[in-house]
Amino acid sequence: MKHLMQVFVRGITRENPLMILMIGLCATLAVSTQFQGAVFMGIAVIFVLTMSNAIISVFRRFIPDEVRIPMFIVVIASFVTIVDLVMKAFVPSVYAFLGIWIPLIVVNCIILGRAEAFAYHNGVLASIADGLGMGIGYTAVIVLFAFVRELFGSGAVKFLGATLVGLPSWYPAPAVVLLFPGAFVLFGLFLALWRALVSRVGEERGVCR
């Protein structure tokens, strides 16, 4: 149990996919203009990551090494398609916003990476813990980042039509925050901040271990 917990926490802190491993960046930068979209993106990633990790872990003994990548990717693609169809059916407005990024979850390096690096070599429970941890680690960052961008880029953060937080009306929201240059620059600063604050904590834990 303790081991599972460790695996889970690791995905959020020491091996955070976005901040430390630096994978799965594309969608993060693209969909983080909208807090709401980022939340659903995160949920989609958690779902796909956990499910594919679980399935691959269950069948890992039956997967021949030579064709493991095509097999992994078909499994992942299937779950992505399920997410795609379900979102289209139930939250069409979010689906319209996320657009091509839902199909592109397939090639989000995190998912194939975890399948290959973790699920293929570990038990089901650990793989699920890993998937959840990594997924939540991803979601936490993307949601936080989207929150910042939407807040400072448009002056208010909305979720399903409701305004969560708003800045005073005199705040002249710089649109560049929502544009692509803003995404890159802010993510760079975000990364620096994260390294300065969060990673240091992780390092200290590493020493205590």
CB of 128 to another protein, least distance (A): 19
Query: Of 5 and 175, which has the nearer Cβ to another protein?
Result: 175
Query: Of 5 and 93, which has the nearer Cβ to another protein?
Result: 93
Query: Of 4 and 116, which has the nearer Cβ to another protein?
Result: 116
CB of 86 to another protein, least distance (A): 6
CB of 205 to another protein, least distance (A): 20
CB of 176 to another protein, least distance (A): 4
User: Distances in Å between the alpha carbon of 77 and those of 74, 82, 105?
Assistant: 5, 9, 8
Position 172: which residue type?
P
Query: Of 4 and 25, which has the nearer Cβ to another protein?
Result: 25
Instruction: Give the SS3 label for residue 161.
Output: coil
Extract the tokens encoding 175.
Answer: 């649109």
What backbone phi and psi angles, to 5 degrees, belong to 186? -65, -35
CB of 190 to another protein, least distance (A): 8
CB of 109 to another protein, least distance (A): 5
- DSSP for 129-140 reads HHHHHHHHHHHH
Query: Of 90 and 209, which has the nearer Cβ to another protein?
Result: 90
Query: Of 195 and 205, which has the nearer Cβ to another protein?
Result: 195
Residue 157 · residue 44 · CB < 8 Å? no
Report the relative pairing of strands 162-166 and 156-159 from DSSP bridges: antiparallel
Cα separation, 99 vs 120, in Å, equals: 30
Residue 126 · residue 4 · CB < 8 Å? yes
Per CB under 8 A, residues contacting another protein are: 22-27, 29-30, 33-34, 62-67, 69-71, 73-78, 80-82, 84-86, 88-90, 92, 96, 99-100, 103-104, 106-109, 112-113, 153-154, 172-189, 191-192, 195-196
Cα separation, 32 vs 178, in Å, equals: 8
Count the Cβ atoms, other than its own, within 10 Å of residue 19.
Answer: 23
